[in-house]
Amino acid sequence: MTQATSGSTVKALPGIYDTLNNQEVFPITVPDGVLLIGDGDEANKGGGSNPITIFGGGSAPAFPGIIVALLPGTGSTIANFTITNASGNFHDGLILSKNSVVLRNNTITGQSRYGINVDASTDHVITGNHIVNNPGSGLGFVNGGVRSKVENNLITGNGAAGVEYDVDGGDLGGGSAGSTGGNTISCNTNDLLAAAQTPITISAANNFWDHANLSPTVGCSPGNDICDFGTLDPINYTTATINTSNAAPAPSPCSP
């Protein structure tokens, strides 16, 4: 990554890329326009019999107190890795702070805060990933993500939420970014969490959930498809407008 320039494709052979085994320095910063690709069958999402793993984290310069594994540059692509940052509290897998990043066919797991933290940036493509078993939220639109296309991802087993919206963010299906949906958002503590302090609209059509008939759920107890803080605390939060049309049950729902 220190040598790559825009337009380059860097292929990583199977193995563990970490500090212990090969002195990786974290966070790994992917330069603008560089494609970082795990060399193998992308159907394995960086796993399989020959996994391609990025394991570790370091202090993110522009995010005091946050530990992160990867910082993708504008127009970069990350594909076919298992990404885990087991560095303690307040750690993220990736922070998207530059525009137009493609995250394709990765497994993002084991982060205590966010698997994917979308900061002040736009126009991402997040497709075909397994965003699973993060103690925090799987995918968080924390401070950006407008016009981002999110489709055909498996988002399950995340401890805080499957997808969290603090601001207007990515299109999970049927929205202006043209997402076809196809995300399985199931078996998270709350599958979709709206925690916005200003009015937002969430497009989440054509996806698979624990329940086929969805509505924002008052109480936000574990097992709900949708938790909207605006229904619980209208003084500090604003109720979101959420489109979950054409919802279907997940293949293996947790709460049928």
pTM of the predicted structure, to 2 decimals: 0.96
Label residue 100 by pLDDT band (50, 70, 90). very high
Which candidate, 140, 65, 68, 129, places its Cα nearest to that of 102? 129
The values of phi and psi at residue 20, to 5°, are -65, -45
pLDDT for 2 equals: 92
* Residue 225 confidence (pLDDT) above 90: no
- Pick the most confident of 40-54, 203-217, 219-233: 40-54
Q: Is the pLDDT reported for residue 72 higher than 90?
A: yes
Domain boundaries, the chain: 1-82, 113-256
- Residue 235's pLDDT is 94
State pLDDT tens for residues 22-59.
899 999 999 999 999 999 999 999 999 999 999 999 99
Residue 212: pLDDT above 80? Answer: no
Does the structure show a pLDDT above 60 at 256? no
pLDDT at residue number 210: 86
Cα gap 27→67, rounded to integer Å: 8
Beta bridge partners of 241: 201
C-alpha atoms less than 13 angstroms from C-alpha of 89 in its C-beta half-sphere: 1
User: Which candidate, 175, 167, 150, 182, places its Cα nearest to that of 240?
Assistant: 167
* Cα distance between residue 32 and residue 27, in whole Å: 15
